[in-house]
């Protein structure tokens, strides 16, 4: 596909369960980002990948959150022992790095995964 | 500390009115980038514009225009002759050069409602 895709589009889980959210970036985009959008907190950055490494994990809210990226493409965000406050829309974005290797170009967002923790 | 403030939570206008969405930012970095994104009811964030801190020239794209003023740390967005299809939540965002990867720091968003 031409855009960023995410799966599942909706996920309902019970408190305490683990969930995995998947992101497939635009082909050729080496930069990948995860954000979270919730009513109380707005849009928050979680983690940034350049290739398979994550130079910026500063937004991960707790050690229950982790992410990985393999093959410089697909990324998985894992939330362990989910809590009700984890309920949010999780957005993935990708970007093509600028000439300096840093990525300040526009980020293209996927449709998001709506996570509901009961 | 980096911060983006969109003081207008909701704006309601009638079609064909002009409307300006305000954005004020804070950063200690001298090199930074400012963005506007649109989030229609479908939910997907759509990129509108990127501006770097060294380029204060205003930009116009069709009915959209942006006014960047470093002196007041503002990057305002104006829609001329608004249309119902402009109804969406609009986010202003900041990216600082010292942050590897340029993570976006978003404002709280302004919900624009354009009524026929």
**Which of the four pLDDT bands, split at 50, 70 and 90, describes residue A98?**
low
Contacts of B107 in chain A (CB under 8 A): 42
A50 reaches B (C-beta below 8 A): yes
A50-53 contacts, C-beta under 8 A, 24 or more apart:
A50/A97, A50/A103, A50/B100, A50/B101
Return d(Cα B116, Cα B113) in angstroms, integer. Answer: 10
A89 reaches B (C-beta below 8 A): yes
Nearest CA-CA partner of B35 in A79, A62, A35, A113 = A35
Residues 60-99 of B with CB under 8 A from A: 91, 95, 97, 99
CA pseudo-torsion sign B95, A42, B73, B56:
positive
pLDDT in tens, B62-112: 999 999 999 999 999 999 999 999 999 999 999 988 777 889 999 999 999
Min Cα separation B98/chain A (Å): 10
Return d(Cα A63, Cα A65) in angstroms, integer. Answer: 5
């Amino acid at each position: 596909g031409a855009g960023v895709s995410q799966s599942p589009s909706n996920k309902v889980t019970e408190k305490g369960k683990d969930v995995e959210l998947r992101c497939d970036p635009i082909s050729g985009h080496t930069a990948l980002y995860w954000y979270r959008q919730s009513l109380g907190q707005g849009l928050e950055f979680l983690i940034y990948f350049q290739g398979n490494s994550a130079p910026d994990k500063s937004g991960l809210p707790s050690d229950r959150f982790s992410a990985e990226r393999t093959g410089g493409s697909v990324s998985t965000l894992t939330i362990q022992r989910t809590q009700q406050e984890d309920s949010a829309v999780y957005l993935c974005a990708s970007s093509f790095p600028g000439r300096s290797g840093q990525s300040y170009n526009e980020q293209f967002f996927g449709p998001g995964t709506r996570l509901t923790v009961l | 500390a980096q911060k983006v403030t969109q003081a207008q939570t909701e704006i309601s206008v009638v079609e064909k009115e002009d409307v300006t969405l305000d954005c004020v930012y804070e950063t200690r970095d001298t090199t930074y980038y400012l963005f506007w994104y649109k989030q229609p009811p479908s939910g997907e964030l759509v990129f509108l514009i990127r501006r770097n801190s060294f380029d204060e020239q205003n930009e116009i794209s069709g009915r959209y225009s942006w006014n960047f003023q470093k002196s007041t740390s503002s990057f305002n967005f104006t829609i001329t002759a608004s249309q119902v299809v402009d109804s969406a939540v609009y986010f202003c965002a900041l990216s600082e050069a010292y942050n590897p990867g340029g993570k976006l720091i978003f404002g709280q968003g302004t919900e624009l409602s354009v009524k026929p």
